[in-house]
């Protein structure tokens, strides 16, 4: 049986309810939401709203309209970053960020639109909020931090960094790609102005889904203008939420599936979290017991998402991930689109192997995986 330990890239398998909801959207109310007044179009619009409300409930957003449907987490991060910044702004992010933050910021910096400071994590893999504070300038307009590293799984002190942002008045963006659906998230308690997330990872929705929470009173420049089905006589993009940021036909089947994923997660979050933590702990301990394994993830299970990152002897990460793939075990080697994290770990050349668990994995799979790794030593 194939073993899927690549859930940090996208979750698999999706609950049956997710697949059924996506199929239902394409068969029972396959119409353009928010455009027409006929039965199917109204049902489609209700579905888009229903998913928005479920997402808002999961993150404790004060208003469902402040949750914008996006096409993935990268899309949400682009909207948050490009929509927030002005010429001359200074931005603080961390070296742990994914390229969907790093490249957006580095491109703006290369065009001399902004200046950028990338704060390194401490040697234990966690960012020190004091180091964020030390990087502040009077031009700092945005602080961006990943909720959990997609390389090591290390859960960052995002609430404490939120306090730093609040005190200095900078906007605060959290990249929740490896957190939402895998642990409780409360955007109000985190004091963030923006929280970006994918729908296709721990929320268990289809690919092509994601979202951005935007706090009340925060106005972004939209990335796209176009049809919204509202205020059609105006040449200008409507101001209202969510239309201001949602131009064009949305991914209705994806959003319907995402709604079912949110319902599944809302009902089962405590069990999912415990199960994934225990699986990852078994992986970690099994690997730690083998001579010749280098581990890069935090040792304490409460400090990491369901990710265990390692290397085997002096093999390259792709040798290991290829050998596992031949045994039908899916993991990810290489740099995981997060070169800064690998620079810090000293693995920029060989990369590292990332095993990431999900709600449907089992302890038998962990045992088989450990056996397969042991055979490489
Ligand atoms: C931390 C982090 N941020 C952003 C992304 C981008 O997510 P998406 O593929 O949904 O655009 C990922 C994807 O792996 C991620 O791990």
The pLDDT tens digits of the residues spanning 68-84 come to: 999 999 999 999 999 99
Mutational pocket test of ligand 1: of 7, 100, 332, 358, the residue with most ligand atoms within 8 Å of the beta carbon: 100
Q: How many CA atoms lie within 13 A of 214 on its CB side?
A: 25
Average pLDDT, the chain: 97
Same domain, 315 and 254: no
Q: Which of 184, 204, 206 is nearest to 195 (CA)?
A: 184
Report CA Rg, the chain.
21
pLDDT, position 303: 97
Rounded to an integer, the average pLDDT of 158-187 is 97
- Count: domains in the chain: 2
77 CA to centre of ligand 1 in angstroms: 9
Which atom belonging to ligand 1 lies closest to the Cα atom of 97? 1
Q: Which of 128, 115, 118, 90 is nearest to 340 (CA)?
A: 118
Phi and psi of 300, rounded to 5°?
A: -85, 130
Whether residue 42 has pLDDT greater than 90: yes
Same domain, 302 and 236: no
pLDDT digits (tens, 9 = 90+) for 319-375: 999 999 999 999 999 999 999 999 999 999 999 999 999 999 999 999 999 999 999
Which of 213, 238, 263 represents a domain boundary (last residue)? Answer: 263
Whether residue 277 has pLDDT greater than 90: yes
CATH classification at residue 320: 3.90.1150.10
pTM score, whole prediction: 0.98
Look at ligand 1, atom 8, and give the residue with the nearest C-alpha. 73
CATH classification at residue 144: 3.40.640.10
Q: What token pair was written down for 141?
A: 């307009």
Rounded to an integer, the average pLDDT of 232-243 is 92
Look at ligand 1, atom 7, and give the residue with the nearest C-alpha. 73
pLDDT, position 311: 98
DSSP letters, 191-236, are T-SEEEEESSSTT---SS-EEEEE-TT-----S-----SSSTT-SS
Tokens 């390692």: give the residue.
Answer: 310
Same domain, 172 and 89: yes
Which atom belonging to ligand 1 lies closest to the Cα atom of 198? 10
Rounded to an integer, the average pLDDT of 246-264 is 98
177 CA to centre of ligand 1 in angstroms: 5
Verify cis geometry, omega within 30 degrees of 0, for the bond prior to 351.
Answer: no
Distance between CA atoms of residues 19 and 13, nearest Å: 10
Residue 1 confidence class, pLDDT cut points 50, 70, 90? confident
Q: Which residues have CB under 6 Å of ligand 1?
A: 9, 72-74, 98, 100, 146, 150, 175, 177-178, 198, 210
Which of 263, 286, 313 represents a domain boundary (last residue)? Answer: 263
pLDDT, position 298: 98
Whether residue 189 has pLDDT greater than 90: yes
Rounded to an integer, the average pLDDT of 309-313 is 98
Q: Would you state the torsion angle of the CA atoms of residues 96, 329, 275, 261, taken in this order, to the nearest 10 degrees?
A: 80
272 CA to centre of ligand 1 in angstroms: 20
55 CA to centre of ligand 1 in angstroms: 18
The answer to whether the beta carbons of residues 201 and 74 sit under 8 Å apart is no
pLDDT, position 13: 98
Same domain, 284 and 151: no
Q: What token pair was written down for 103?
A: 């490249």
Rounded to an integer, the average pLDDT of 227-246 is 92
Residue 36 confidence class, pLDDT cut points 50, 70, 90? confident
Residues above pLDDT 70, as percent of the chain: 100
251 CA to centre of ligand 1 in angstroms: 18
Cβ partners under 8 Å of residue 307, min gap 6:
8, 148, 149, 150, 151, 152, 153, 178, 280, 297, 354, 355, 356
Whether residue 35 has pLDDT greater than 90: no
Whether residue 193 has pLDDT greater than 90: yes
Domain that holds residue 159: 16-263
pLDDT, position 216: 97
Which of 218, 233, 263 represents a domain boundary (last residue)? Answer: 263
Rounded to an integer, the average pLDDT of 143-165 is 98
The answer to whether the beta carbons of residues 35 and 41 sit under 8 Å apart is yes
């Amino acid at each position: 049986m194939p073993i899927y330990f690549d859930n940090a890239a996208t979750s698999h398998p999706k609950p049956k309810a997710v697949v059924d909801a996506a199929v239902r959207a394409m068969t029972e109310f396959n119409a353009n939401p928010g455009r027409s007044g006929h039965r199917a179009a109204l049902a489609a619009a209700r579905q888009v709203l229903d998913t928005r409300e479920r997402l808002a409930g999961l993150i404790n957003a004060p208003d469902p309209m402040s949750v914008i449907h996006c096409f993935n987490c990268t899309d949400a991060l682009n909207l948050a970053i490009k929509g927030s910044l002005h010429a001359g702004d200074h931005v603080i992010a961390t070296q742990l960020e994914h390229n969907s933050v790093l490249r957006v910021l580095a491109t703006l910096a290369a065009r001399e639109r902004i200046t950028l400071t990338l704060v390194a994590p401490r040697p234990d893999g966690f960012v020190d909020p004091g180091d964020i504070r030390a990087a502040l300038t009077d031009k700092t307009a945005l602080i961006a931090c990943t909720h959990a590293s997609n390389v090591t799984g290390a859960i960052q002190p995002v609430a404490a960094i939120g306090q730093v942002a609040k005190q200095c008045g900078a906007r605060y963006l959290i990249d929740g790609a490896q957190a939402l659906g895998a642990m409780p998230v409360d955007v109000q308690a985190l004091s963030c102005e923006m929280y970006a997330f994918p729908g296709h990872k721990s929320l268990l929705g289809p690919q092509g889904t994601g979202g951005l929470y935007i706090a009340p009173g925060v106005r972004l420049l939209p990335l796209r203008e176009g049809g919204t089905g509202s205020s059609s006589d105006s040449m200008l993009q409507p101001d209202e939420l969510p239309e201001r940021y949602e131009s064009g036909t949305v991914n209705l089947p994806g959003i319907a599936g995402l709604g079912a994923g949110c319902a599944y997660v809302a009902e089962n979050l405590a069990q999912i979290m415990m199960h994934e933590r225990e699986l990852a702990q078994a992986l970690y301990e099994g690997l730690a017991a083998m001579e010749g394994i280098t581990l890069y993830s935090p040792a304490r299970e409460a400090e990491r998402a369901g990710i265990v990152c390692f290397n085997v002897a002096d093999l390259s990460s792709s040798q290991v991930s290829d050998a596992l793939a031949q045994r039908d075990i899916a993991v990810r080697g290489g740099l995981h689109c997060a070169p800064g994290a690998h620079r810090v770990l000293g693995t920029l050349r060989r990369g590292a192997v990332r095993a990431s668990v999900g709600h449907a994995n089992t302890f038998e799979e962990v045992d088989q995986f450990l056996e397969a790794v042991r055979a490489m030593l």
